[in-house]
Amino acid sequence: MISINVGQSGNRIGSRCFELYCLEHAIGKDGILDTNIQGTNGNSNDLVFRNFFTESQNIKNKFIPRALFMDTEPETINTIKKYDDYRSMYRESNFLMCKEGASDIFSRGKYTVGRELQDPMQEKIRSMVEECDNFGGFLLYRSICGGTGSGLGSGVLQHLGEEYTKKVKLDFNLFPSPNQSNNVVSPYNAAMALMDMIEYADFNMIFDNEALYDMLKKSLAMDKTSYQEINSLMAHANSHLTSSLRFPENYGESQIYLTELMQTGIVPYPKLHFLLPSYAPLVKKNAFQSSIPVPNLIKSIFTPDSLMAKVDNSKCKYMSSYMFFRGEIIASEIIKPLNEVKSKKLVEFVDWSPSGFRVGINHSPSLTYGDLSKTPKSLLMLSNNTSITKIFKKIEDNFSSLYRTRAFAHWFVGEGLESSELQECFEQLKQLADDYQSIHTSS
Ligand SMILES: Nc1nc2c(ncn2[C@@H]2O[C@H](COP(=O)(O)OP(=O)(O)O)[C@@H](O)[C@H]2O)c(=O)[nH]1
Ligand SMILES: [Mg+2]
């Protein structure tokens, strides 16, 4: 798997994900594997984590992330290169940047400024893919509020969609927060980015800072939260998602492999591939905790406090739901509480997908990372449900209030976008919201 981090948030989140991988696989800050550490496949022969790391040709037991870092301005990447604890683990040629910045404008990120990075990006991805033995796909990390994650990220996604059609493309996205201030043109950026997501991504995982901030504030009783803590929480979710591809098979029971998701029906209609993540439990580092029983864990994942995007999912319909458990859990413990969830109508599935839960269990528990403590059992749930309609409607409304007077449209059109594209984008966004809505009303 190749990770591609784009823009300020993308690069910061992506680097946190690799830090956590390192902790989980006993890889040091310099990328050297500690072969004395038992467990978490530190000394396993097959070293499954090589799905995410390539082995150095020159230094014994040194592993290099299969990760590309891209930005239209140098600041974030230079900070990672200079100050990140794990900076010496990365390969210098995996950092691609230019100087001008995208100034929060999608079309600068995709066209005028981002164009400079297109050839080096394509060449770099080609060589990274060649370096893989059995290449599975891509994970893209970015925010779609600013100009780089949305615009340059769209350029990357389009390339992956056109060039690597059969490979998985999973897009991790920070969406605009519904009730907190975003940059003024974020509705345009998000809507334009959505067009390429519909076309080229296999799955999108939707997060927003407001929901993540509230989760941390409430569960950990924190007054203030920084991006660093929010990014660590996202890294925990990402770690659950990818664990089946990093731990040997005997670490799991009925694993869910990302690369198989495409065939297993999480997405009944190709365009409706937007997934809402929920995560539990959140326990503060060093706080006392008793092990949470599996039924309670399952109950808590369906509460609004576990949702990583701010949306009301109380009256929605589910098309599918994927549960990534970690820790000492056996499959038989899960069946009864999940049946109860359905019989008590805690969730409602569409008529044509009455038993849409799929369960994966990985026996390696989550570790202490950021402000979050390790927990003996934890769970990430990815749901494809109709509550997402509200997220698209909100972007549509905000887009509409700008576009009615063509506010700021010239910023976008002046940077390589055809003026008809904004209108087309608006129509498609409405269509996407309508498509999800009709799933709700017709089943
Ligand atoms: N979670 C998180 N959000 C961030 C981080 N840095 C910036 N943001 C938010 O992400 C949005 C887009 O900003 P940024 O990533 O800087 O844009 P880009 O560089 O143009 O892609 C803004 O709303 C910021 O508040 C970060 O490290 N983590
Ligand atoms: Mg930026």
Which residues sit opposite 372 in a β-bridge? 284, 369
Output the pLDDT for position 160: 98
For atom 5 of ligand 1, which residue has the closest CA? 9
Place 259 in a pLDDT band, splitting at 50, 70 and 90.
confident
Place of tokens 């297993």: 264
Please determine whether the domains at 2-258 and 274-387 fall in the same fold group of CATH: no
* Residue 139 CA to ligand 2 centre (angstroms): 19
Output the pLDDT for position 255: 77
Q: Chain centroid to CA 383: how far?
A: 13
d(Cα 201, Cα 161) in Å, to the nearest integer?
7
Span 364-383, average pLDDT: 94
Output the pLDDT for position 40: 55
Place 42 in a pLDDT band, splitting at 50, 70 and 90.
very low
Q: Which residues surround ligand 2, an ion (CB under 5 A)?
A: 7-8, 148
Closest ligand by atom to 149 CA: 1
Output the pLDDT for position 261: 73
How is residue 370 written in tokens? Answer: 């950021």
Is the Cβ atom of 7 under 6 angstroms away from ligand 1? yes
Q: May I ask the CATH class of domain 2-258?
A: alpha beta
* CATH code given to domain 274-387: 3.30.1330.20
Write down the domain spans for the chain.
2-258, 274-387, 390-442
pLDDT 10s digits, 67-80 = 999 999 999 999 99
d(Cα 41, Cα 94) in Å, to the nearest integer?
26
> Ligand 1: which of 4, 5, 8, 142 to mutate, most ligand atoms within 8 Å of CB?
8
Output the pLDDT for position 82: 97
- Assess if CATH 2.30.30.90 describes domain 390-442: no
Output the pLDDT for position 265: 67
Span 376-383, average pLDDT: 96
Q: Which residue has the higher pLDDT, 180 or 116?
A: 116
d(Cα 423, Cα 308) in Å, to the nearest integer?
30
Place 268 in a pLDDT band, splitting at 50, 70 and 90.
confident
d(Cα 49, Cα 54) in Å, to the nearest integer?
9
Span 22-27, average pLDDT: 94
Q: Respond yes or no: is residue 75 known to be catalytic.
A: no
Place 174 in a pLDDT band, splitting at 50, 70 and 90.
very high
Helices of type H across 59-113 = 75-83, 106-107
- Position 43 pLDDT exceeds 70: no
Q: Which residues, including other chains, have CB under 8 Å from residue 51's CB and lie 6 or more apart? A: 1, 66, 136, 245, 246
Is the Cβ atom of 231 under 6 angstroms away from ligand 1? yes
Span 232-253, average pLDDT: 91
Span 141-166, average pLDDT: 97
Q: What percent of the chain has pLDDT over 90?
A: 78
- Of 23, 45, 42, the C-alpha closest to 34 is 42
152-156, 326-330, 403-407: which is most confident: 152-156
What is the average pLDDT score of the chain? 92
Contact 173, 141 (CB under 8 A): no
Place 120 in a pLDDT band, splitting at 50, 70 and 90.
very high
Is the Cβ atom of 230 under 6 angstroms away from ligand 1? yes
* Residue 125 CA to ligand 1 centre (angstroms): 24
pLDDT 10s digits, 333-358 = 999 999 999 888 889 999 887 668 88
Span 278-288, average pLDDT: 91
Burial bucket for residue 363 (CB in 10 Å: 0-12, 13-18, 19+): middle
Which residues sit opposite 207 in a β-bridge? 174
d(Cα 406, Cα 427) in Å, to the nearest integer?
15
- Position 46 pLDDT exceeds 90: no
Output the pLDDT for position 400: 95
Least confident range of 225-239, 341-355, 394-408: 341-355
Is the Cβ atom of 110 under 6 angstroms away from ligand 1? no
Output the pLDDT for position 252: 77
Output the pLDDT for position 102: 95
Output the pLDDT for position 39: 53
Place 45 in a pLDDT band, splitting at 50, 70 and 90.
low
Is the Cβ atom of 308 under 6 angstroms away from ligand 1? no
Intra-chain end-to-end CA distance of the chain, in Å? 36
Output the pLDDT for position 13: 98
Taking the CA of residue 10 as reference, the ligand 1 atom at the shortest distance is: 15
pLDDT 10s digits, 290-324 = 789 999 999 999 999 999 999 999 889 999 999 99
Place of tokens 């990006």: 121
- Position 288 pLDDT exceeds 80: no
Q: Which residues, including other chains, have CB under 8 Å from residue 355's CB and lie 6 or more apart? A: 342, 349
Is the Cβ atom of 174 under 6 angstroms away from ligand 1? yes
Output the pLDDT for position 44: 54
